[in-house]
Amino acid sequence: MPRPMVALVGRPNVGKSTLFNRIVGRKLAVVDDRPGTTRDRLHATAEWNGVLFTVVDTGGIEVWPERVAEGQRPAPAQPLAEDSAPFIPLIRAQAEQAIAEADVVVFLTDATTGPTPADREVADILRRSRKPVFLAPNKAESSRVREAAVEFYELGLEEIHPISALHGYGVADLLDRVVQALPTWEAEPEDESVKLAIVGRPNVGKSSLLNRLLGEERAIVSPVPGTTRDAIDTRMEWEGTPITLIDTAGIRRRGRVQPGVEQYSVLRALRAIQRADVSLLLVDATEGVTAQDAHVAQFILEEGCGVLVLVNKWDAVPKGRGTQREYMAHVREALKFLDYVPVLFISARTGQGVERVIPQALEVHAARHYRIPTGELNRLIRDAIARHAPPAKAGKHLKIYYVTQAEVAPPTFVFSVNDPELVHFSYERFLENRIREYYPFTGVPLRLVFRPRGRKEK
């Protein structure tokens, strides 16, 4: 089953990104005093008291007042603050999505202002949910503010934990309660099938592809319950290889006035990607690669999942000399960070090219489990160093002593070096490219880890 998920929700400028950074232990979220700084979804793996979970920053509400029609605004019982009104529909939609996707919700408010109409809107939704909700009045640096936080009990939520995300006050106690409320994350029973997740935006042809794949004469099909909330796994056998197709709900397009909702719609695919060996990323050939497609591709890369890009509805594209070559260039440019990924042009409606999908996905799966012998790997890296010497920083040169492939799925290479700080990202990319020259790892992201050698050099 996928890792449990903790969502941070709340109105703009209450400190969600600051708390996100503190929980994950890295500055992944951009922190700014201006509302709407976090414009794209942020998720990361966190650990507390030995419990692994995914934490999601639900920031990213970017609203222009003219985009919000009067008819879309709720009619709260009391007047809204002037700066709160445009955000109410978005905050409400965001909270509803958080409830649907998360196992635990941390609801942040501003302890220095007391409860606001926007806070009450969110609390109304969370109070009626069956999910564990922890109310965290933030910015409670002083004892006076912490004592005043009792007024948040009027929101009807039982557990209140005043915190200072900036300084760390109260965060440990909050996380103690959060991990206690998370469902137990247990490894799934041994399943030797190859898991293929079908992901993409609505109307790109996911269901049509699923039906087409299952309709092949060589496929033996049986439905089994899925472990994600809105997906049904389908077992099939392809030329003797057991396969699990993980169907997913569509990842919605960016709404004109609800970018907060868009963030959470992506999480449906994230859970499938976390379980998959290979993700089949569908792109609508009539629309081209969109920013949303690139978001999902980035998810796949971060999870270390194999990926196969399928340009669907190819039958609907007017053909001319060089059409496919030009379209391939477009795909490569839009997904330049996945230049090692195979791209197939298909039509799920007519069946064009679909017969190549599973064989290619199985090649990606095999590459994801390939291991380079240690001796060959070190010879490869020595040759790479001879071709391009490691960089120097402040007169100190990077030294690579030894490398080993520590893991597969995804392939992970651990480099023993004198100082990891000397590894420039461009040299890391150079080393990855040299590894791919030896074995392309088609459709598979590689992870390179640089660690200092145990003893210091004299």
In the chain the domains, ranked by start, together with CATH numbers, are: 5-181 (3.40.50.300), 194-368 (3.40.50.300), 374-452 (3.30.300.20)
| Helix pair 88-101, 117-128: axis angle to 10 deg | 30
Position with higher pLDDT, 219 vs 116: 116
Residue 86's pLDDT band, with cuts at 50, 70 and 90, is: low
Cα gap 111→155, rounded to integer Å:
13
Residue with tokens 């998810």: 299
Q: Give the whole-angstrom CA distance, residue 344 versus residue 336.
A: 16
Residues in CB range of 4: below 8 A, 6 or more apart: 51, 53, 54, 103, 104, 182, 183, 185
Report the chain's mean pLDDT, rounded to a whole number.
80
CA 371 to each of CA 119, 210, 409: distance values in angstroms, whole numbers, following the listed order: 52, 31, 10
How many CA atoms are closer than 13 Å to the CA of 397, on its beta-carbon side?
7
Tell me how many helices (H) and strands (E) the chain has. Answer: 12, 17
Amino acid in position 74: P
Which contiguous run of DSSP H or E holds residue 207?
helix 206-214
**Local confidence band at 354 (pLDDT 50, 70, 90 cut-offs):** very high
Phi/psi of residue 315, nearest 5 degrees:
-65, -20
Percent of the chain surpassing pLDDT 70 = 76
CA dihedral sign, ordered 244, 44, 265, 133: positive
Angle between helix 171-181 and helix 16-24 axes, rounded to 10 deg: 80
Are residues 240 and 256 in contact, defined by beta-carbon separation less than 8 angstroms?
no
Q: Which two three-digit tokens encode residue 58? A: 């639900």
Report the alpha-carbon distance of residue 330 to residue 163 in Å, rounded. 48
Instruction: Provide the residue count of the chain.
Output: 458
pTM of the predicted model as reported, rounded to 2 decimal places: 0.61
**Tokens in use for 19?**
């708390």
Looking only at the bridges linking them, the beta strands covering 343-345 and 306-312 are parallel
298-347 pLDDT tens trace: 888 888 999 999 999 999 999 888 889 999 999 999 999 999 999 999 99
CA distance 39 to 53: 23
Which alpha helices (DSSP H) does 60-130 contain, by range? 88-101, 117-128
Q: Is the pLDDT of residue 362 over 90?
A: yes
- DSSP conformation class of 63: -
Confidence category of residue 226, pLDDT binned at 50, 70, 90:
very low
Angle (nearest 5°) at CA 332 between 326 and 333 = 90
Most confident of the ranges 7-16, 115-124, 305-314: 305-314
Do residues 361 and 308 make contact, with C-beta atoms less than 8 angstroms apart?
A: yes
DSSP single-letter state for residue 151: G
User: Is the preceding omega at residue 410 within 30 degrees of 0, hence cis?
Assistant: yes
For the stretch 175-195, pLDDT in tens is 999 999 998 876 556 678 999
Rounded-to-integer distance, Cα 55 and Cα 106, Å: 10
DSSP helix/strand/coil, 86: helix
Question: How far apart are alpha carbons 7 and 321 in whole angstroms?
Answer: 49
**Cα separation of 19 and 216, whole Å?**
49
